Amino acid sequence: MKKMNQRVTAMIMSMVLVLALAGCGAGTEGDANASENQNAVPRVEVADSAEVLNKVWDTYGDEEKFFVMGGDFDNPVENAAGIFSMENAENMTYSLYIPEDCVELVDEAASMIHAMNANTFTGAAFHLKNAEDAGVLAEALRENIASTQWLCGFPDKMAIYSINGGEYVVSTFGKNEAMDTFKTKLLEVYGESAALLVEEKIV
């Protein structure tokens, strides 16, 4: 009788263990699905890198705007963002602070820079060949901006964002007021499609 009770107890324990493991498995799958849903970033349709910046710039009021130039030296655009040529990596590094060895990660870029002093505000948008490289590019931009030897006064801080889950990376640095306005506008325009990857003071 005692042996039979032990067998029954062992069988019950085995069944409890099996059910517990099955429950854990189901919970893990549910958690994974929930995680996937949380990571699904809503998309905002934009035509190109310049439009990424111009969607933000177009929400500025007259009293908030300042004179900006977009594009590159050969194809400048006044008072708006413009496409920056990918042909000259050195020029991109000089103007947009993307390290030369990271230029290969992107296939399109745009700029929007304060026309009187780039340290007041410089904005760049990059379209990535692979959205999974957004974190790599953001860190490379952060390091390059942080290690710059500034002329004509220091910018106060930098901020780097991803749009559409890393399809685009937006890099900015400048004075506090200009940076705060741009951040507010960008997050209003792109909502959950935007993520702040880096925000720190420049010292």
17 and 99 fall within a common domain? no
pTM of the complete model? 0.80
Q: Do residues 148 and 95 touch, judged by C-beta distance below 8 A?
A: no
**Residue 162 is inside which H or E element, if any?**
strand 157-163
62 and 117 fall within a common domain? yes
Backbone angles phi, psi at 30, to 5 degrees: -65, -45
**Tally of structural domains, the chain:** 2
196 and 152 fall within a common domain? yes
- Which residue range is the domain that position 9 belongs to? 1-40
34 and 56 fall within a common domain? no
Average pLDDT over residues 182-203: 96
Per-residue pLDDT, 181: 98
| pLDDT of 12 higher than 90 | no
115 and 174 fall within a common domain? yes
- 111, 190, 193, 194 from 41: Cα distances, Å: 25, 11, 6, 8
Q: Percentage of residues in the chain with pLDDT exceeding 90?
A: 74
Greater confidence (156 vs 10) lies with: 156
Q: Which of 30-39, 47-56, 141-150 has the lowest mean pLDDT?
A: 30-39
113 and 20 fall within a common domain? no
Label residue 78 exposed, middle or buried (CB < 10 Å: 0-12, 13-18, 19+).
exposed
Per-residue pLDDT, 39: 56
- Nearest residue to 110 via CA among 66, 65, 59, 53: 53
The Cα–Cα gap between 106 and 129 comes to 5
54 and 25 fall within a common domain? no
The count of other CB atoms within 10 Å of the CB of residue 203 is 7
CATH number of the CATH domain containing 135:
3.40.1000
Per-residue pLDDT, 41: 81
| 3 state SS of 170 | strand
29 and 123 fall within a common domain? no
Q: Tell me: the pLDDT tens digits for 156-168?
A: 999 999 999 999 9
8 and 66 fall within a common domain? no
Per-residue pLDDT, 22: 41
Mean pLDDT taken over the chain: 85
Q: Tell me: the pLDDT tens digits for 105-152?
A: 999 999 999 999 999 999 999 999 999 999 999 999 999 999 998 877
| pLDDT of 3 higher than 90 | no
